[in-house]
Amino acid sequence: MRKIKQGIRMLFIAWLCAACQHEVSDRLKGKWQLQTVETRGNVTQVDTVWYNFQSESLFMYQIYRPLSHDYFYTYGYKVQPDEHTLKLELTNYTILVKDFLPHTDWPKARRTFTVGHIDSRRLILHAGDTTYTFRRH
């Protein structure tokens, strides 16, 4: 009887561990508001940019324009070859990429990030010498 109880307890603990362990892509789903961009020690506060991870493969880059009180956005693709790498690519869906890029700090339509941290409230991405800190919106 004691071994049965111990076996049930071990199965329950294993089930809890499996239930709590989410893939990075699952934890990315939702809307993330960019808070800071840090490059070579210079920190810039940001509150008008969002990355929306809508599915396993789609995302939206959204910018709020306070002067006109509207949103400027485009869609793109998301690929995660492993839990520490996030590859994003903008597409010509709502606006041409060449017209959208000047409103961002992206040098080109494709960007590869390293996932530095992710939990239910905070996301930190690194690209080159730049660190992007987001909060779940």
- Which has more confidence, 3 or 47? 47
Alpha-carbon gap, residue 133 to 33, rounded angstroms:
9
Residue 22 above 80 pLDDT?
Answer: no
Residue 57 above 70 pLDDT?
Answer: yes
Contact assessment for residue 133 and residue 35, using Cβ atoms and an 8 Å cutoff? yes
pLDDT at 91: 96
DSSP letter for 68, please: T
Judge whether 131 lies within some domain.
yes
Task: Indicate the pLDDT class of residue 1, thresholds 50, 70 and 90.
Answer: low
Judge whether 2 lies within some domain.
no
Judge whether 14 lies within some domain.
no
Q: Is the pTM of this model over 0.85?
A: no
Judge whether 19 lies within some domain.
no
Residue 74 above 90 pLDDT?
Answer: yes
Average pLDDT rounded to a whole number, residues 73-92: 96
Q: Which domain holds residue 67?
A: 24-136
Residue 19 above 50 pLDDT?
Answer: no
Q: Is 113 exposed, middle or buried (0-12, 13-18, 19+ CB in 10 A)?
A: buried
Cα 130–Cα 132–Cα 137 angle in degrees, nearest 5: 170
Judge whether 42 lies within some domain.
yes
CATH number at residue 131: 2.40.128.280
Quote the number of domains for the chain: 1
